[in-house]
């Protein structure tokens, strides 16, 4: 067993040119199928955020659900999905943003966050930060306060942290 960061990096598979030429896709399914490592990841995220006086965890569709829902359970908090356009059935708020490989929309139910809720936004990976920033915009539009962002991994060269400046941004394994 190495350091958590080394073990996480070793367990993630990189698929070149997916879904488009020039994108090195980080495939976390090879991490998630490993029960022991999955638990060490959840332990580390729980430890980082358990003192943060949070009210809710927002997970970003779809891989943010895989990381966010178990974390919400460990922290004893509600879980709120931020979903792709057209998936949520009730009254909602929407935002559009630029992605590393295209344009995308994100939505949340209008009653999913209460005014003053302290919220953690979770996804598997931080790239340009556009997706997480969009989720934060929705949370803030609903009157919530974004306390921080949690990721399993981060592509440093895409400067996502710059877009999330001023927030507490945490990732377990960083790639240059």
- Contact residues toward ligand AMP (CB under 6 A) are 23-26, 60, 63, 99-100, 123-132, 155, 160
Report the DSSP beta bridge partners of residue 123: 151
Which two structure tokens, joined as six digits, stand for 176?
A: 């240059």
Contact present, 123 and 64 (Cβ < 8 Å):
yes
Q: 68 with 89: CB under 8 angstroms?
A: no
In the complex, the smallest distance separating the C-beta of residue 115 from ligand AMP, rounded to whole angstroms, is: 27
Q: Of 16 and 89, which has the nearer Cβ to ligand AMP? A: 16
Does residue 103 have an active-site annotation? no
> Residues 5, 46, 61, 100: which is the catalytic one?
100
63 is known as an active-site residue = yes
- Minimum CB distance to ligand AMP smaller for 129 or for 144: 129
Minimum CB distance to ligand AMP smaller for 23 or for 42:
23
34: exposed, middle or buried (Cβ count in 10 Å: 0-12, 13-18, 19+): middle
Q: Known catalytic residues? A: 63, 100
């Amino acid at each position: 067993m190495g350091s958590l960061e080394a073990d996480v990096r070793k367990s993630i598979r990189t698929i070149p040119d997916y879904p488009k030429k020039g994108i090195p896709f980080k495939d976390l399914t090879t991490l998630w199928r490993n029960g022991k490592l999955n638990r060490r990841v959840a332990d580390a995220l729980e430890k980082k955020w358990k003192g943060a006086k949070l009210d809710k965890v927002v997970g970003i569709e779809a891989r943010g659900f895989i990381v966010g829902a178990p974390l919400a359970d460990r922290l004893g908090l509600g879980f709120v999905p931020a979903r792709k356009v057209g998936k949520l059935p009730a009254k909602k708020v929407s935002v559009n943003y630029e992605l590393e490989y295209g344009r995308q929309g994100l939505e949340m139910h209008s009653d999913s966050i209460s005014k003053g809720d302290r919220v953690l936004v979770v996804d598997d990976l931080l790239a340009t930060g556009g997706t997480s920033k969009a989720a934060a915009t929705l949370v803030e539009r609903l009157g919530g306060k974004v306390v921080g962002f949690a990721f399993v991994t981060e592509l440093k060269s895409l400067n996502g942290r710059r877009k999330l400046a001023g927030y507490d941004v945490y990732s377990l394994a960083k790639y240059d």
